[in-house]
Amino acid sequence: MRTLVNVLIFPIACLVGTAVVVAMHPPLPSGVLAVAPYVLAGIGALLCGRFKRSRGVFALAFLVCGFAMMQAFFAAGIGAGALGQIAYPAYAISFPLMLVLLGVLGDRGVFTAWGAVVLAMVSIVGTVTCFAVDGGFGIPSAEGAQAMRVAVAETLHARLLPQWADAWTWLPQPALLAVAVAAAFFIVRGVVRDEPLDAGFAGCVVGVAAGMHVAGRPDFVALFFCAAAGCIVVPLFQDSYRMAFLDELTGLPSRRALVADFRKLGGRYAVAMGDVDHFKKFNDTYGHDVGDEVLRMVASRLARVTGGGAAYRYGGEEFTILFPRGNAQEALPHLDAVRAAIEGSPFAVRSKDRPAKKPKDADAKGKPSRGKGAGASAGKTVSVTISIGLAERTDARQNPEDVLKEADKALYKAKKKGRNQVCAG
């Protein structure tokens, strides 16, 4: 649930806020709004390029093309001519589908072979649309060209649902379905992967559709296209925050976040340092991949520490737990509880030779026959423990860094006394 809120909160807030502004019909600065989507998309494209988010660059470029089309041809609404019946629905359908394609391809660069493929596909869509609008695909007779345009328009406006499904909007049913499918795809993908940019793509798809829905109101069109561009730009800042303050491996706040939180402390707090017991030996025995899994498991338990504590990954196999409004005596039982939770969590070692599916030569009991290369530790369950040192702020230790050093000394005391325990400094 927390992931759902984190990745969707800005796209929803941005689109709802824009819809509220549109509903209030306030006087808007038309001159500024006429160029705002271009400026925002340009800044966003530069940021996407800087952050190696090529799909964002392409999405914003395609968005700008749509806004330019809306400005040039549909400022007064959607007419009955070829532009309104072909170009408008063609873009409304192709935009969400193109974003899904970008999402599937991922960030493969702009000036690369994959980038050329994406540009070629966009160019093909634009070229085919232009041929359909202007020349009826080159059919020499006027009647034949018109018949072809009518056939294309009918296809783009195909009714797949009852008439009420699109009676309220300029957008044809295929476009509405494409928007719904693309938005659902990116929402699910964003939540599963905890990826803000995927959720931003969902917001962008809906924002562009909303902008096309209000065709004939240029200011409102510009507002929604700005919101759509913002849904791509803002996740870049969310990503930069994560890179700066969250540990990629464990998902815990990083050492930099700890230092930042140190600056907020008052006159009463406690700091604990934790270290996974025998981690180097464990890493050497079972491999770095298994070692990473151990760190993730320990981090997940530490993240649930009670008593108002907050866990951070300090570095390597070391973790810090900060109690910003308590002393060592109050923090001790909560630390011992989380230590016991880690000790009581059996860790199954997965052999790196273990196949993803059960092999065909499994024996009658379902166990695969072991060859010479099979790991001796496959399927073995081991116990993971952690030693913790604790210290609190005193008159002699008023600086958080000094309290942290004292907690580190207490940690070594816990290790010397046999590990898997909490010692106060």
| pLDDT tens string 139-176 | 667 777 788 888 888 999 999 889 899 999 999 999 99
Q: Does the residue 131 lie in any domain?
A: yes
Question: Could you tell me how far CA 54 lies from the centroid of its own chain?
Answer: 15
Q: Are strands 422-424 and 386-392 parallel, antiparallel or unpaired?
A: parallel
Q: Does the residue 171 lie in any domain?
A: yes
Residues 28 and 54 in one domain: yes
Structure tokens, 332: 């001790």
CA distances from 30 to 26, 34, 133, 218, 345 (A): 12, 6, 29, 8, 61
CB 51 within 8 A of CB 200: no
Q: What is the pLDDT of residue 211?
A: 96
Q: Does the residue 226 lie in any domain?
A: yes
Buried b (16+ CB within 10 A) or exposed e, 270-295: bbbbbbbbebeebbeebbeebbebbb
- Residues with Cβ within 8 Å of residue 104, at least 6 apart in sequence: none
Residues 80 and 172 in one domain: yes
The total of structural domains in the chain comes to 2
Which H helix or E strand runs over 273? strand 270-276
Domain end marker among 182, 210, 243: 243
Residues 272 and 199 in one domain: no
Structure tokens, 336: 């011992």
Residues 236 and 281 in one domain: no
Q: What is the pLDDT of residue 372?
A: 38
Residues 204 and 334 in one domain: no
Residues 93 and 228 in one domain: yes
Burial (CB count <10 Å: 0-12, 13-18, 19+), residue 114? middle
Which H helix or E strand runs over 423? strand 422-424
Domain end marker among 243, 270, 301: 243
Q: What is the pLDDT of residue 374?
A: 36
Domain membership of residue 301 as a residue range? 255-352+378-424
Residues 132 and 35 in one domain: yes
Buried b (16+ CB within 10 A) or exposed e, 123-162: eebbeebebbbeebeeeeeeeebeebbeebbeebbeeeee
Q: Does the residue 15 lie in any domain?
A: yes
Q: What is the pLDDT of residue 406?
A: 95
Q: What sign does the CA torsion over 289, 294, 295, 301 have?
A: positive
Alpha helices, DSSP H, located in 303-396: 328-343
Q: Does the residue 371 lie in any domain?
A: no
Q: Where are the beta strands (DSSP E) in 305-412?
A: 310-315, 318-323, 347-348, 381-382, 386-392
* Local mean pLDDT, 10-residue blocks, the chain (425 residues): 67 87 80 93 94 94 95 89 90 96 92 91 86 68 78 90 91 96 95 90 96 94 96 90 90 94 93 94 85 93 95 95 94 96 86 51 44 49 92 90 95 94 91
**Nearest CA to 118 among 185, 62, 70, 189?**
62
User: For the whole model, what pTM was predicted?
Assistant: 0.78
CB 19 within 8 A of CB 27: no
Residues 239 and 259 in one domain: no
Q: What is the CATH number of the domain that holds 294?
A: 3.30.70.270
CA distances from 8 to 30, 44, 127, 233 (A): 30, 19, 35, 14
Q: What is the DSSP letter of 377?
A: T
Sheet holding 386-392, edge to edge: 310-315, 318-323, 270-276, 386-392, 422-424
Q: What is the pLDDT of residue 21?
A: 85
Q: Does the residue 18 lie in any domain?
A: yes
310-349 per-position pLDDT tens digit: 999 999 999 999 999 989 999 999 999 999 999 998 888 8
Structure tokens, 17: 């806020």
Residues 236 and 286 in one domain: no
Residues 284 and 209 in one domain: no
Domain end marker among 243, 266, 299: 243
